[in-house]
Chain A
Amino acid sequence: MVTASRALARIDSAARAAPGLLRRVFGVAEQTLDDLLDRLMGERFDERMQRVPMALGAAGVDPFGMDPQWARYALTTIGLLHRRYFRTEVHGIENVPEGRILLVANHSGQVPIDGALIGASMFMDAEPPRIVRAMVEKWAVSLPFVSLLFARVGQVVGVQENAKRLLDQGEALLVFPEGAKGISKTFDKRYKLSEFGLGFMRLAIETGTPIVPVAVVGAEEQYVSIANVETLAKLLRMPAFPIIPQLLLPGGQLPLPTKYRIWFGEPMRFTGDPDDDDAVMDEKVWLVKQTIQSMLNRGLKERAHIFW
């Protein structure tokens, strides 16, 4: 038993620690890939990365498990999507104040590319660059590799304690108050905000954090979902089970190359008692929701075409 597992481990570690030559080839490839990406993007990622304040421990990761090395790779990849594939237009990013903020955005597009692109614009287009921490569904944390990737690139489980701790550290937090309902919207409900949760408002009031409303235009059309089969979703313990016809076409697995437009609004500040009745919270949340909806409407009106 022990020898068998030792042998397995040896294979495992042999695969891990590739022989010198291979590693050098990979090293060169890594270097050229880095250069290529940098040249392709025309920006210095390392320089921007160094300007992001991070509380790193001895192992090179922060207490939430974010590794700047991983974050850099993730941001480079997303940056490529941001600049080349979705050709994001960013408006009003100068509205984002320094210090702790709560970015509140509409959620859409079946796959959370919207969150990634908001993160990319906060890193690549904002001055100084910031790393956005999003709150992810606990379901994602129970998936292998996904949980690891999310943790290493700075995403945290969406619970109040985590949010408070991050805001206390002065981080930028991204929340989607629509939650899974929002992202799995069918095509006929596009750009109509579904119900907002109240948690983010209580959090903002309790920690005295300004809310920056964010409207993302372009994500709804990347995957066209015609239905959401809830019974199947429940059966598979997934948050949603969208029916996306384009997945059956060759190459349709990729999101459609729509043009993204991200609008950052003026920061909104709220005061009061964080433990107030839902009715009182509802009014404040309604204000945020309406702001985002009108930003969305304006964005849609000004948009010349879905794809360019």
Chain B
Amino acid sequence: MAAANATRASRGKRSRAASPAPRAGAVLVTGVCGRLGKGLVRVLHRERRVVGVDRRAFADKPKDIEHAQVDLRRTKLKDVFRNNEIEAVVHLGVMHDPRASAADHHSWNVAGFSKLLEYVSQFHVPKLVVLSSANVYGPQPSNPQFLGEDAPLLGGQNFSDIRDLVEVDMLAQSFFWKLPETETVILRPVHILGRVHNAPSNFLRLNPILTVMGFDPMTQVVHQSDVVHAIDLALRPGIRGIFNLAGPEPVPLSTLIKILGRQRLSVPYSLARMALRRLWSLRLTTFPPPELDHIRFVCMVDDRRARQILGFTPGMSLEETVRSVDLGRW
């Protein structure tokens, strides 16, 4: 933990030295009340004005952050753009709740994001950073070991519930040519670990951890603070395009479990799928059955672009990254 703090401190210094003088414009962060959003604004608000947007309330908000408790789909969002000089939008407000209905997902993720894009173009915001995910590529047996940014987005092929996430990525991509004067950045991080409550972190918090018998795919993980750092880097002027983000070197899934020192329960695939389907329909689990593919097949990314163009290097070691799922479970 001390080491983690030290890295964070040194990173703070590094990014402060690298960034130009503070500007008047504000950074608008959607989904600010998520754990990742809170982490991001804590880094950003030291140097720039930050406006948070979320339909949830921001409980322990730092004083200098403005928070608009607005639903992305409401026209009230326009007021936020009108009343502030927004010079960058960071879109984290993507709904991943596997229990929410498909209609909810679509209306929130796609309709909400379209509204946001509309205002970005209307108010000539020069920078847009969208946090997508490497899941949009989808785990497949035919995947190359390292997927490039130009790989097809097949995530919805076997898992239709995440089609709206693919659509969000595609919508952001269409911005490259629709609005070339806005610098659009799409980040596709691999499994984000940390205090966040996403599927990979929750999966590693299981005890015992379920694995599929006879499969032990290579996996990449990234610490939430490294993702925050990458978003910070993506906000620099001149950066645009799609970037895959990966943390420390890839390791087999079994190594992650070994680092955590958890027990492991390996189950044949057919049995695991059957049990998970039953548990899912009984609402006893938060893992939809198609997610089993993530612990069978590889879905790893080639992050050379992020390292070369974005200048991103993960600050957290593998151990720190994996152990972070157990830290401060609040």
- Name A residues whose Cβ lies closer than 8 Å to a Cβ of B: 1, 5-6, 8-10, 12-13, 16, 57-59, 61, 63-65, 138-139, 141-148, 151, 156-157, 159-162, 165
Do B145 and A162 touch across chains, with their CB atoms under 8 A apart? Answer: yes
By the criterion CB–CB under 8 Å, are B265 and A138 in contact?
no
Smallest CB separation, B3 vs chain A (Å): 16
Answer whether residue B148 sits at the interface, using C-beta atoms and an 8 A cutoff: yes
Question: B255 near A: Cβ within 8 Å?
Answer: yes
* Cβ B251 vs Cβ A59 within 8 A: yes
Bound: A228/B109 CA distance, A: 50
Which one, B14-22, B115-123, B213-221, is touching chain A? B213-221
Which of B145, B207, B249, B296 has a CB less than 8 Å from the CB of A57?
B249
Q: What per-residue 1/0 map shows which CB atoms of B123-144 lie under 8 Å from chain A?
A: 0000000000000000001111
The answer to whether A157 touches B141 (Cβ under 8 A) is yes
Q: Jot down 15 A-B pairs with beta carbons below 8 A, ordered by A.
A: A1-B279, A5-B208, A5-B265, A6-B207, A8-B208, A9-B264, A58-B248, A58-B249, A61-B218, A65-B217, A147-B141, A157-B144, A161-B146, A165-B145, A165-B146
Closest 5 CB pairs of A and B: A144-B214, A9-B208, A161-B144, A145-B214, A59-B251
Q: A145 CA to B318 CA in the complex, in Å?
A: 26
**Contacting residues, chain B, for A151 (C-beta < 8 A):** 216-218
Question: Is B141 in contact with A13, judged by CB distance below 8 angstroms?
Answer: no
Contact residues of B with A, CB < 8 Å? 141-148, 207-208, 212-218, 248-252, 255, 263-266, 268-269, 279, 284, 296-297, 318
Given A5-B208, A9-B264, A58-B318, also A148-B215 (CB < 8 A): yes
- A65 partner residues in chain B, CB cutoff 8 A: 217-218, 252
Q: A9 contacts which chain B residues (CB < 8 A)?
A: 208, 263-265
Measured in the bound complex, the distance between the Cα atoms of B213 and A141 in whole Å is 14
Contact of A148 among B143, B214, B284 (CB under 8 A): B214
Please measure, in the bound complex, the distance between the C-alpha atom of A266 and the C-alpha atom of B296, giving whole angstroms: 41
| A22–B214 alpha-carbon span in the complex (Å) | 24
Chain B, Cβ-Cβ closest to A13: B263
The residues of A that contact B266 with a CB separation of less than 8 Å are 12
Known contacts: A6-B208, A145-B214. The answer to whether A161 contacts B148 by CB under 8 A is yes
Residues on the B chain within 8 Å of A143, using CB: 214
Give the chain A neighbours of B263 by CB distance below 8 A. Answer: 6, 9-10, 12-13
User: Of all chain A residues, which has the CB nearest B318?
Assistant: A58
- How many Å lie between the Cα of A10 and that of B263 in the bound state? 7
Measured between beta carbons, the chain B residues less than 8 angstroms from A165 are 144-146
Question: Would you give the shortest CB distance from B43 to chain A, in whole angstroms?
Answer: 27
**Known contacts A8-B265, A57-B249, A57-B251; A63/B141 CB under 8 A:** no
> Across the interface, do B208 and A64 meet the contact criterion of CB distance under 8 Å?
no
Bound-complex Cα distance A281 to B190 (A): 38
Measured between alpha carbons, how far is A30 from B250 in the docked complex, in Å? 29
- Asked whether, in the complex, the Cβ of A156 is within 8 Å of the Cβ of B251, the reply is no
A97 to B181, CA, bound (A): 51
**Shortest distance in angstroms between A298's beta carbon and chain B's nearest beta carbon?**
37
Most buried by A among B145, B255, B284: B145
Q: Are B265 and A148 in contact (CB under 8 A)?
A: no
| A159 / chain B contacts, CB cutoff of 8 Å | 142-144
A144 CA to B272 CA, complexed, in Å: 13
Given contacts A8-B265, A147-B296, 9 further A-B contacts (CB under 8 A): A6-B207, A58-B251, A64-B145, A141-B141, A142-B141, A144-B215, A157-B143, A159-B143, A161-B148
B190: shortest Cβ distance to chain A, in Å? Answer: 13
Contacts of B216 in A (CB 8 A): 148, 151
CB distance from A158 to the nearest CB of B (A): 9
Contact A144 B212 (CB under 8 A): yes
Which B residue sits closest to A142, measured CB to CB?
B141
Query: CB-CB < 8 A to B148: which residues of A?
Result: 161
Q: Check B265 against A12 for contact (C-beta < 8 Å).
A: yes
Residue among B144, B147, B212, B214 having the largest count of chain A Cβ atoms under 10 Å: B144
In the complex, the answer to whether A156 meets B269 with C-beta atoms within 8 Å is no
Complex Cα distance, B282 from A1, in Å, reads 12
Does the CB pair A144–B269 fall under 8 Å? yes
Cβ contact within 8 Å between B142 and A144:
no
- CB distance B252 to A157 under 8 Å? no
Q: Complex: how many Å from CA A145 to CA B215? A: 6
Given the known interface contacts A59-B255, A148-B214, the answer about A162 and B269 at a Cβ–Cβ threshold of 8 Å is no
Nearest-CB distance from B295 to chain A (Å)?
A: 12
Nearest-Cβ distance from residue B286 to partner chain A, whole angstroms: 14
B157 CB, nearest partner CB in chain A, Å = 14
CB distance from B273 to the nearest CB of A (A): 12
From B145, B147, B248, B264, A156 is in contact (CB under 8 Å) with: B145
Closest to A161 in B: B144
CB proximity of B56 to chain A, nearest CB, Å:
29
